[in-house]
Amino acid sequence: MQLVLQRFSYRFAEEVLNSMLSLKKQVDQILLEPVPDPKILSRPGFNELLNSRFTSAGWQAQPLVFGDPGDPGAKMDFLKERVGVEVGFGHASFLGIDLLKFQVGSYSALNKIDVGIYIVTTSHFQKVMKDQYGLNWEGSLTFEKVGRYLPHFKSAIQVPIYVLGIDVQGAG
């Protein structure tokens, strides 16, 4: 099985990332690195795999969004050189919370990121995982849903966000 990426650029996120081309390519490499056994691509298994890959590539794992340990404990998944990454493998209802992490990390006194990368799976990926490997992704956020909803948040979410949808090529 070969993983492929679908892409959606919100507020010129791709152009911003093109000015950080090595980081953009590194994220692609992390996400597209072959998976030895597709059965590990359950939600928790895939999260563990990505955590290992991102931290091995020098990304800070679980940085506090607010910076001060006394502030609310919201955390971004990964951070490196002003690029924040959030992995959205949870329930679709977390969409707004995930997007707000990017907004908060970008504006006001925090000023930690210039662009966010939101990693989700496609509905096709989720169907293949269920049909061929018995893995339950039901209720998870999809690339298609993010693409439909994100433009409606344009007055609230002003930070550029690059949405990457993990898909499967040649399956299902």
pLDDT tens sequence across 65-78: 876 666 666 789 99
Provide the pLDDT confidence category of residue 105 given band limits of 50, 70 and 90.
Answer: confident
User: Which pLDDT score, from 0 to 100, does residue 72 have?
Assistant: 60
Does the model's pTM come out above 0.85?
yes
Q: Does 171 score more than 70 pLDDT? A: no
- Across all residues in the chain, what is the average pLDDT? 91
Tell me, what amino acid is at 44? P
Rounded CA-CA distance 32/100 in Å is 27
Provide the pLDDT confidence category of residue 104 given band limits of 50, 70 and 90.
Answer: confident
User: Which pLDDT score, from 0 to 100, does residue 27 have?
Assistant: 98
Tell me, what amino acid is at 153? F
Q: What does the pLDDT average to over 17-42?
A: 96
Measured in whole angstroms, the distance separating CA 32 from the mean position of its chain's CA atoms is: 13
Q: What does the pLDDT average to over 110-120?
A: 91
**Residue 60 backbone phi and psi in degrees, to 5:** -75, 125
Tell me, what amino acid is at 136? N
Rounded CA-CA distance 76/142 in Å is 19
Lowest mean pLDDT: which of 65-69, 113-117, 121-125? 65-69
Which residue, among 84, 87, 66, 91, has the nearest Cα to 141 in the 3D structure? 91
* H, E, C per residue of 93-111: HHHHHHHHHHHHHHCCCCC
